Amino acid sequence: MPNLEFALEIGPTHFLILSAALFSFGMMGVLLRKNILVILMSIELMLNAVNLSFVTFSHFSGNQNGQVMVFFVMTVAAAEAGVGLALAVAVYKRFKNINISFFEGLKG
């Protein structure tokens, strides 16, 4: 029976590439989508990508500062989700539509 063990070491580069990919997908969702709920989910995805970067740097540098910072980012994400969903519900009640293209004329 051949020995199938091999050393696959996952370093910080792997986590940072994953974080950059998640952030890119979130940014594409914010820039390309017109639905406010999809935009809010994309912003959450971007914040989670930033959290992954913080935890990666914290773990591989040996200090706890990044992990503490994640709690602040999670607090901002929770507040953003609450306020964003409340605004989306209020807009839907008023206009019966939450499509962003409907509101492009309000820019000034």
- Flag whether pLDDT at 84 surpasses 60: yes
Within 8 A by CB and 6+ apart from 57, the residues are 12, 66
**CATH number of the domain bearing residue 34:** 1.10.287.3510
Q: What is the pLDDT of residue 5?
A: 66
Q: pLDDT: is 107 or 92 the higher one?
A: 92
pLDDT tens-digit map of 5-41: 665 788 899 999 999 999 999 999 999 988 888 889 9
User: How many structural domains does the chain have?
Assistant: 1
Q: What is the pLDDT of residue 98?
A: 74
Query: Measured between alpha carbons, how far is 82 from 27 in angstroms, rounded to an integer?
Result: 20
Residue 28, domain extent? 12-97
